[in-house]
Amino acid sequence: MQTEQKLKDLVKQKYSEIALQNKQTNMSSCCGSGGCSTEVYNIMSDDYTKLEGYNADADLGLGCGLPTEFAQIKPGDTVVDLGSGAGNDCFIVRAITGEKGRVIGIDFTEAMIEKARANAEKLKFNNVEFRQGDIEKMPITANVADVIVSNCVLNLVPNKANVLKEIMRVLRNGGHFSISDVVLVGQLPDKLQSLAEMYAGCISGAVQKEDYMGMISAAGFKDITIQKEKEILIPDDILAAYLTPAEIAEFNNSGLGIYSITVYAKKPDACCAPGCCN
């Protein structure tokens, strides 16, 4: 069993490598973790290219949804992006908030922060900033954000309840989040569940859909809604790096569902969750 710190170190190492990979490599693997597929298509992420604010240099093909599309962001909002990578979602958010808004990206990996800051500098954005930090203990003061977004990141965090507590702290009363993430319906094969490589690739770090939604409710959020859901299919040539042909056949016939979901939830107007006003 990997400790939480070892899993975090693994994520930092893998995503430092991913920051240097091209988009095509990342798009044909599980969140860019490796195991490149000969079926070159994006396993998880939706197409960003037609969205206002899209910047090709910031798109590493690592997402599993389009949370910004559902986040109900308004001009002038302060928006925080958890796991901001090279800045893709932040720049799309900035196109919505405008010059009077404020966008803060938080990422665990120094290489990603450097890449994002370089992209922001090229775009000459003075209201988009990137901070290195752990989203279980965000480098940001309380009651700041109107909206929080995140794209395929919470499944990489060992203690998701801590992140939800931090989201509650950072959101203003009445603020909300829109988060895209990977969840399961049914059990992963033991081999995939235990492989650190697949953890960094988002799959074995995912929890059961019912448990995921339950954690959000337990954290004190309200108006919890699944805004979008789609099934993720892992090509056999990626599975072959981890499973035998017989195990692949069993996996494909198991009824296991791997899904990308985009979830909306709101912080109560008058904070009532235990400890959230501390």
Domain boundaries, the chain: 4-266
Amino acid in position 160: K
Instruction: Of 96, 93, 110, give the one whose Cα is nearest residue 148.
Output: 93
Q: What CATH fold (topology level) applies to the domain 4-266?
A: Rossmann fold (3.40.50)
* pLDDT in the model for residue 178: 98
Instruction: Of 31, 64, 28, give the one whose Cα is nearest residue 202.
Output: 31
The whole-number average pLDDT for the span 218-222 is 97
Task: Using the predicted structure, report yes or no on whether residue 53 has a pLDDT greater than 60.
Answer: yes
Top mean-pLDDT range of 3-17, 49-63, 78-92, 150-164: 78-92
Task: Using the predicted structure, report yes or no on whether residue 112 has a pLDDT greater than 80.
Answer: yes
pLDDT band of residue 40 (cuts 50, 70, 90) is very low
Q: Where are the beta strands (DSSP E) in the chain?
A: 78-82, 102-107, 128-132, 145-151, 171-185, 207-208, 222-231, 257-266
Task: Show the tokens assigned to 44.
Answer: 């998880």
The whole-number average pLDDT for the span 92-120 is 95
Which residue(s) pair with 106 in the sheet? 82, 131
How far apart, in whole angstroms, are the C-alpha atoms of residue 111 and residue 133?
Answer: 12
Q: Do 29 and 241 meet the contact criterion of CB atoms below 8 Å apart?
A: no
Task: Using the predicted structure, report yes or no on whether residue 39 has a pLDDT greater than 50.
Answer: no
- The model's pLDDT over 172-197, given as tens digits with 9 standing for 90+, comes to 999 999 999 989 898 877 777 766 55
Quick one: which H or E segment has residue 111?
helix 110-123
How crowded is residue 122: how many other Cβ atoms within 10 Å of its Cβ? 11
pTM above 0.85, yes or no: no
Task: Using the predicted structure, report yes or no on whether residue 125 has a pLDDT greater than 60.
Answer: yes
Q: Do 247 and 140 meet the contact criterion of CB atoms below 8 Å apart?
A: no
The whole-number average pLDDT for the span 243-248 is 89
* φ, ψ dihedrals at 197, nearest 5°: -60, -40
* pLDDT in the model for residue 16: 62
Task: Using the predicted structure, report yes or no on whether residue 273 has a pLDDT greater than 90.
Answer: no
Tokens 């400890």, residue located: 275
User: What is the residue-averaged pLDDT of the chain?
Assistant: 83
Q: Do 125 and 143 meet the contact criterion of CB atoms below 8 Å apart?
A: no
